[in-house]
Amino acid sequence: MTTNSPVEPATLVELLTMRAAATPDEVRFHHLGDGDEVTATLTLPELDGSARAVAAHLAGITQPGERALLLYAPGLEFVVAYYGCLYAGVVAVPVAPPQPNKLADSLARLAAITANSGARLLLTGAEIEPLLTPVLAEADGFAGLRTVVTDRIDLAEADGYHDPGVTADSVAHLQYSSGSTGEPKGVVLTHHNVLANLRLVTDEIGAGVGVAWLPTFHDMGLLSMVTYPVYSGSTVISMSPWHLCSGPRAGSRRCPGSGPPTPSPPTSPSGSPCGGCLPSRSPTTICHRCG
């Protein structure tokens, strides 16, 4: 007698498509826009539809295999853009927003990643685009970079989506190092690589409640905030560091589950977790993973 084992998705596109069909009504992503109240949510079908709209839009202006920088303020727009790139076969390149208090250094790092990756597109959100555009226009290294504001894309464009033939060996994203000791170094991650990592993490940590202070452009932040919820069926609650620094307990009480979660935020060079986040508004988030 034989039994059918669960079908394992070969790509992150298959993963989201399967999970969206299996759990149509469950909200997987929450964002606390004011640090306490949920201001944005995503179910997996909503994420699937939004990703298809972004992918269809990208298909009209670029080709599969092209690189796109993902530069976002805190929120769920990054999640949609990342999966939109995957659906389009476009290689996502998560990057940190320029920091006003370290503008020259952060722009130099961003320019180095742009050149090394060969990115011709910059995907961003309506919240940050008016601030970002004039800064990049005056800086070196960004000429010819086309900006796409993904949360202005009409969801009706999803009807025009066509699968470009993404496979397990297709590149999902490029992950760059901080560049603190030299030029940022990029690592190529395929759909197979990301799924293998997700399987390993799920086997190791299982279900439960956790808190992490990680930006989505960081490798562990992208995994725990963006791909792990879809793979494991967990729920993420995110918030901006701006609100975390002014009242971290407000966000913590929003996490369902028994017992208090254990936070493990990194410290800034000044020794305080909040020492560098208020001036920069970098998209560091507090993440609650609930099984």
Question: What is the pLDDT at residue 255?
Answer: 53
Question: What is the pLDDT at residue 50?
Answer: 99
CA dist 253 and 9 (Å) reads: 34
In sequence order, which ranges of the chain are alpha helices (DSSP H)?
Answer: 12-22, 44-59, 77-88, 103-117, 129-138, 191-205, 219-222, 228-232, 241-246, 248-252, 277-280
Q: 260 pLDDT band (50/70/90 cuts)? A: very low
Q: Is the pLDDT of residue 256 over 50?
A: no
Phi, psi (deg, nearest 5) at residue 34: -105, 10
Q: 285 pLDDT band (50/70/90 cuts)? A: very low
The domain spans of the chain are: 12-256+278-290
Which residues does 55 contact at the CB level (< 8 Å), separation at least 6?
Answer: 84, 85, 86, 87, 88, 90, 161
156-170 residue pLDDT tens: 999 999 999 999 999
The residue with tokens 């769920």 is 76
Nearest in space to 93 (alpha carbons), one of 65, 73, 113: 113
More confidently predicted of 86 and 212 = 86
Q: Is the pLDDT of residue 251 over 60?
A: no
Would the pTM count as exceeding 0.75? yes
Q: Is the pLDDT of residue 62 over 90?
A: yes
Q: Is 257 left (phi over 0), alpha (psi -120 to 50) or beta?
A: left
Q: Is the pLDDT of residue 77 over 70?
A: yes
Mean pLDDT computed over 9-23: 97
The tokens for 174 are: 């490029």
The tokens for 209 are: 């409640």
Q: Is the pLDDT of residue 214 over 80?
A: no
Question: What is the pLDDT at residue 10?
Answer: 97
- Architecture of the structural domain at 12-256+278-290: 3-Layer(aba) Sandwich (3.40)
Nearest in space to 97 (alpha carbons), one of 277, 289, 266: 277
Phi, psi (deg, nearest 5) at residue 149: -90, 100
Annotate 209-225 with three-state secondary structure: EEEEEEECCCHHHHHHH
Angle at alpha carbon of residue 6, lines to 5 and 9, rounded to 5°: 130
Q: Is 206 left (phi over 0), alpha (psi -120 to 50) or beta?
A: left
Strand, coil or helix: what is 98?
coil
174-207 residue pLDDT tens: 999 876 677 889 999 999 999 999 999 888 776 5
